[in-house]
Amino acid sequence: MNVMDTRATSAMLYLDGVHVSFDGFHAINNLSLTLEPGEMRAIIGPNGAGKTTMMDIITGKTKPDEGTVLFDGVTDLTRLDETRIAELGIGRKFQKPTVFESQTVQDNLLLALNVDHSVRGTLFWRGSRAESERIDKVLETIRLTDARNRLAGSLSHGQKQWLEIGMLLAQDPKLLLVDEPVAGMTDVETHLTAELLKEINKTHTVMVVEHDMTFVRELGVKVTCLHEGSVLAEGTIDQVSSNERVIEVYLGR
Amino acid sequence: MTPHMLTRSLDRGATIFLAIVAACGILIPLSNLLLPAGSFLQVPTYLVALWGKYVCYAILALSIDLIWGYCGILSLGHGAFFALGGYAMGMYLMRQIGSRGVYGNPILPDFMVFLNWEKLPWYWYGFDMFWFAALMVLVVPGLLAFCFGWLAFRSRVTGVYLSIITQAMTYALLLAFFRNDFGFGGNNGLTDFKDILGFNVQAEGTRAALFALSCLALIVGFLVCRAIVSSKLGKVLIAVRDAESRTRFLGYRVESYKLFVFTVSACMAGVAGALYVPQVGIINPSEFAPGNSIEAVVWVAVGGRGTLIGAALGAVVVNYAKTFFTSGMLAPYWLFMLGALFILVTLLLPKGIVGTFNSWWESSREKRLAGVAASAAAEDGITEPKLAEKRS
């Protein structure tokens, strides 16, 4: 059977009518959103708009009360757990950089590589040339080649953010969810991160959650503004930031 | 274990440790057997048996360090696996008594005759064969750990909750083994052993051989642990310990990893218990006491969590202290001292003996390297000293 026949949608990610509430608080309220393959989308919204909860739903950490979440047109993500979703090809960078602090930069990337993740595979693992070349390439991309043998815990905040992006690259997922990649970065680092994400977007579908408007503007992609768990506005950064309701709830001008 | 795993797991510390254990395993039995009694260098038989007990404790400590130090699973019930291994060996030793028991029954152990049991319960079948008992030493603790872990890890029970249910597990077993109708000798447990594989368990030669075997088991157990922690699986375990949910988002099935390492650890604890029983001559339900398991965790903390060598060292040091203090006038205060030791180590030496030594060694080496690099740079005009030595 042709796979295309079974696809409900051409979108890489398709959310429709998603609801989640925690103890009566509606974190996500009738959220509908689609991401086309190869697209990069910036998600903005005030605190509590449901940005992180949305990522939790996509990655299987939180189960929605109702609604459809389809990945790659065919896979219902609401039925799968985190590990399975990661195996399918959805990678996530957390808001707070989460790297394995007591291990070296190189080992962090090694752990992230999308190779055999079974107990037996890792127990009898022996390094291969292809693997170390991939790690070298990622290290170069994230500019951490000189720090490869340092413990990840000893990196600066910005470097940790980059290492986490590097881990995403090593994971090589179809869809990257990037939560606040430039939080706590200097202007130069922010600029470099935008460049890096644009580079990554050439081969991957990316969703970026970010507060930093300069950064979002620099990405130059379609923007979705969330508010109280649903989509408030969608369009270019100029359209969205001139939308009166967006100004009201978010920009506060 | 493949050759590359073996070479990868042997760093300098590991090699030194193994050499010391091997030397003890060979020299102590030889000195006990070959030198004349009373000679300055002769190790008396009672010490061989006592040290043999310490070596078994070291294996238990190693098994705890594997899961706690590397995977963050704090089991406060590991004594249960140790005791189950011990009971499996004890059952074999009971069946070896045969008609030499007080009641002279060729099949039934004395306590069963005493309870007016007519025939051997089914779960005692096969324990007259050494190979079967040896298999059960691994299978029974391993199977219990597998079932327990399967339920606990799949339900994502972690941290203090997991520790509490492991305590409950060992306590439940304690109560069960206390019962006479459970079929394991109740309160008295299994004792009065006569021989093992045809050798008298009390004989000097047997004790020396058991000591050597315990050292061998410690070596094998250490190598297995090293092979695990120095493989990529070891890196995954540390990742789970440090950031469990992050590991899941990378696509690792965390519960499978925990289950694997927990089961391996339980089997090791079982072996330790099996070697312990013939050397101390008894196994009874008190081995399941929650306090025992907690004490074993203290050994690991004292020696240094996540270092393996530290766990073994901690077990020997703390137990030596225990023997020393409980045999004098300080005996009633031993538990207070143990508690104080735990508090002091947690406050002053959070990395334990070996962990603290390792950090001191690392930092002094880095200083030396920095000194060398600085002088070399001064000579050659190199500006960037490469200090980032890979930690091995």
A72-100 pLDDT, tens per residue?
988 999 999 999 999 999 999 988 888 99
Nearest chain A CA: its distance from B306 CA (Å): 12
Residue B392 is predicted with a pLDDT of 40
A141, burial (CB in 10 Å: exposed 0-12, middle 13-18, buried 19+): middle
Taking an 8 Å cut-off on Cβ atoms, the answer to whether B251 and A83 are in contact is yes
pTM of the model: 0.90
- pLDDT-derived band at A126 (thresholds 50, 70, 90) equals confident
Is residue A209 over pLDDT 90? yes
* A78 and A182 together in one domain: yes
A161 vs B269, more confident:
B269
Nearest chain A CA: its distance from B221 CA (Å): 16
Nearest chain B CA: its distance from A124 CA (Å): 7
Burial profile A153-168: b = 16 or more Cβ within 10 angstroms, e = fewer: eebeebbbbbbbbbbb
Mean pLDDT value across residues A162-167 = 92
Per the CB < 8 A criterion, the answer to whether B250 and A99 are in contact is: no
- pLDDT-derived band at A3 (thresholds 50, 70, 90) equals very low
* A109 and A164 together in one domain: yes
> CB distance from B158 to chain A under 8 Å?
no
Residue B330 is predicted with a pLDDT of 83
Taking an 8 Å cut-off on Cβ atoms, the answer to whether B260 and A119 are in contact is yes
Q: Looking at chain A, which residue has its C-alpha nearest residue B8?
A: A126
**Residues A24, A25, A30, A31, Cα dihedral to 10°:** -140
Residue B388 is predicted with a pLDDT of 44
Taking an 8 Å cut-off on Cβ atoms, the answer to whether A111 and B391 are in contact is no
* A220 and A247 together in one domain: yes
Mean pLDDT value across residues A194-199 = 91
Q: Please report the sign of the dihedral spanned by the C-alpha atoms of residue A148, residue A151, residue A152, residue A156.
A: negative
Per the CB < 8 A criterion, the answer to whether A80 and A202 are in contact is: no
Per the CB < 8 A criterion, the answer to whether B263 and B55 are in contact is: no
Q: Looking at chain A, which residue has its C-alpha nearest residue B260?
A: A119
d(CA A23, CA A139): 43
Residue A250 is predicted with a pLDDT of 67
Chain A residue numbers touching B228 (CB-CB < 8 A): 123
> CB distance from B389 to chain A under 8 Å?
yes
* A33 and A81 together in one domain: yes
Mean pLDDT value across residues A202-219 = 91
Taking an 8 Å cut-off on Cβ atoms, the answer to whether A102 and B232 are in contact is no
Q: Classify residue A2: in a domain, yes or no.
A: no
Q: Classify residue A197: in a domain, yes or no.
A: no
Q: Classify residue A116: in a domain, yes or no.
A: yes
**Which of B249, B252, B391 best probes binding to A when mutated, by most A CB atoms within 10 angstroms?**
B249
* A105 and A167 together in one domain: yes
Q: Classify residue A196: in a domain, yes or no.
A: no
Chain A residue numbers touching B385 (CB-CB < 8 A): none
Residue B385 is predicted with a pLDDT of 42
Chain A residue numbers touching B249 (CB-CB < 8 A): 59, 82, 86, 91-92
Domain of residue A161, residue span: 97-172
Is residue A17 over pLDDT 60? yes
Chain A residue numbers touching B242 (CB-CB < 8 A): 100-103
Taking an 8 Å cut-off on Cβ atoms, the answer to whether B243 and A100 are in contact is yes
Q: Looking at chain A, which residue has its C-alpha nearest residue B385?
A: A146
* A123 and A233 together in one domain: no
Of the ranges A125-134, A190-199, B323-332, which one carries the lowest mean pLDDT score? B323-332
**CB-closest option in B233, B247, B254 to A123:** B233
Q: Looking at chain B, which residue has its C-alpha nearest residue A83?
A: B251
**ipTM value > 0.90:** no
- If one counts the domains in chain A, the total is 2
**Which of A80, A111, A135 best probes binding to B when mutated, by most B CB atoms within 10 angstroms?**
A111
Chain A residue numbers touching B262 (CB-CB < 8 A): none
Chain B residue numbers touching A118 (CB-CB < 8 A): 253, 256
Q: Classify residue A4: in a domain, yes or no.
A: no
CATH number at residue A52: 3.40.50.300
Token reading at A158: 């910005």
Q: Looking at chain A, which residue has its C-alpha nearest residue B259?
A: A119
Instruction: Give strand pairing partners of A10.
Output: none
Taking an 8 Å cut-off on Cβ atoms, the answer to whether A100 and B238 are in contact is yes
Chain A residue numbers touching B247 (CB-CB < 8 A): 111
Taking an 8 Å cut-off on Cβ atoms, the answer to whether A83 and B252 are in contact is yes
Residue B380 is predicted with a pLDDT of 59
* A108 and A168 together in one domain: yes
Nearest chain A CA: its distance from B157 CA (Å): 16
Residue A6 is predicted with a pLDDT of 62
Mean pLDDT of chain A: 90
Residue B7 is predicted with a pLDDT of 79
Residue B373 is predicted with a pLDDT of 72
Residue A41 is predicted with a pLDDT of 95
- pLDDT-derived band at A251 (thresholds 50, 70, 90) equals low
d(CA B144, CA B225): 20
pLDDT digits (tens, 9 = 90+) for A52-71: 899 999 999 999 999 999 99
Nearest chain B CA: its distance from A114 CA (Å): 8
* A138 and A239 together in one domain: no
Q: Looking at chain B, which residue has its C-alpha nearest residue A153?
A: B242
Nearest Cα to Cα of residue B310 among B62, B72, B74: B62
Please report the DSSP string for B152-194 in residue order: HHHTT--HHHHHHHHHHHHHHHHHHHH-GGGTS-GGG-EE---
**CB-closest option in B239, B248, B254 to A100:** B239
d(CA A218, CA A207): 15
Residue B83's Cα: distance from chain center in Å? 11
Those residues of chain B that have pLDDT short of 70 are 1, 377-392
